[in-house]
């Protein structure tokens, strides 16, 4: 599996986790919702961290080819982090938890779409062969951990 296939699959996995929790929020016991949300937060944070460390570190923020897409990705990442920060401050049975969870799910869905349609293609377009080899090597190392 190459790095871009991995990230596309991981986008789908995290998006599906969020959608499942939202779908079953009213049916599942609170402890299951809580544990599922905890796993979702860990998954989305890990996903965003891996994108930063495995894909985006090869590029400078001021690289004219990547500047716009990196700025938009950073904005999406910060929106997700802000919603996560709000979500962890609300108990699973409090008013507002479900709405915040649905907002997080929508932001994750939007990030996955952005990654697929804009970020990954732009990285592939702008990366040199040397960059792609380094990304692949770092990806293989990361996956062995």
Q: What is the pTM of this model?
A: 0.92
Average pLDDT over residues 97-123: 96
Instruction: Please give the Cα distance from 104 to 38 (Å, whole number).
Output: 13
Q: What is the pLDDT of residue 127?
A: 87
Joined tokens for residue 76: 């999406």
Q: Give the side-chain half-sphere CA count within 13 A for 74.
A: 9
DSSP secondary structure, 89-110, as one string: TS-TTSTTHHHHHHHHHHHHHH
Average pLDDT over residues 57-63: 72
pLDDT at 142 over 90: no
Percent of the chain at pLDDT above 90? 70
Instruction: Please give the Cα distance from 102 to 90 (Å, whole number).
Output: 14
Instruction: Give the DSSP H/E element, type plus range, for residue 80.
Output: helix 67-87
pLDDT at 62 over 70: no
């Amino acid at each position: 599996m190459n790095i871009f296939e991995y990230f596309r699959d991981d986008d789908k996995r995290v998006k599906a986790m969020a959608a499942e929790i939202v779908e079953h929020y009213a049916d599942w016991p609170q402890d299951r919702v809580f544990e599922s949300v905890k796993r979702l937060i860990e998954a989305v944070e890990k996903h965003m961290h891996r994108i930063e460390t495995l894909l985006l570190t090869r590029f400078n923020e001021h690289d004219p080819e990547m500047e716009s897409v990196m700025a938009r990705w950073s904005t999406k990442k910060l929106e997700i982090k802000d919603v996560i920060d709000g979500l962890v401050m609300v108990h699973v049975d409090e008013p507002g938890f479900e709405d915040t969870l649905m907002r997080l799910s929508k932001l994750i869905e939007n990030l996955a779409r952005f990654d697929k349609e804009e970020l990954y293609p732009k990285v592939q377009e702008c990366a040199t062969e040397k960059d792609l080899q380094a990304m692949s090597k770092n990806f293989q190392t990361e996956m062995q951990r």
